[in-house]
Chain A
Amino acid sequence: QSVLTQPPSASGTPGQRVTISCSGSSSNIGSNTVNWYQQLPGTAPKVLIYSNNQRPSGVPDRFSGSKSGTSASLAISGLQSEDEADYYCTAWDDSLNGWVFGGGTKLTVL
């Protein structure tokens, strides 16, 4: 059972906009920033969004992040087939004194 809650799956057709939610509590998302990671099949995760809504260089602006209270969201617009991957949210938890992950969301491009 993950500390952060994500839907196990999401899907969309090419060109669509999809959002993935991440729900936490006051000790993690409510107190600290959220980072999102993309894991393509058979590869290591890579950072997609950090500090709630910042994109590292090289990440397309089709990806965006937001946070409100104890929840965060990742939005992907103009969905492409290469976006098919697993997506994870994470935040520092002040009570556990460590990083906590969401269970991951498998995105399928139909």
Chain B
Amino acid sequence: KAGVTQTPRYLIKTRGQQVTLSCSPISGHRSVSWYQQTPGQGLQFLFEYFSETQRNKGNFPGRFSGRQFSNSRSEMNVSTLELGDSALYLCASSSGLSLTGGAGELFFGEGSRLTVL
């Protein structure tokens, strides 16, 4: 079956602009998580959505937001971009069950690489 699909794969923005990234999870998966990956900080959790509800949130400023649609597709938005927002943004999907239930490892997409100039 198809994997996690993220669009766009690459984009360049300037400071102050906003950006919207999209993620389509594996068919049947209801949970979508977003991560930011940078050389300095590694992979950091942004937020997780399940059935259109945000269930968990990381320690990022309010400029980072997301949503999930009824078909489980998710978008994340970053407003008022800063240079430090340049990163690889990874989306991961899972069934949404507890990760300790043995059925919930995350499957990652290939990411959207954002460059802020």
Q: Are A and B subunits of one complex?
A: no
Q: Which residues of B contact A (CB under 8 A)?
A: none
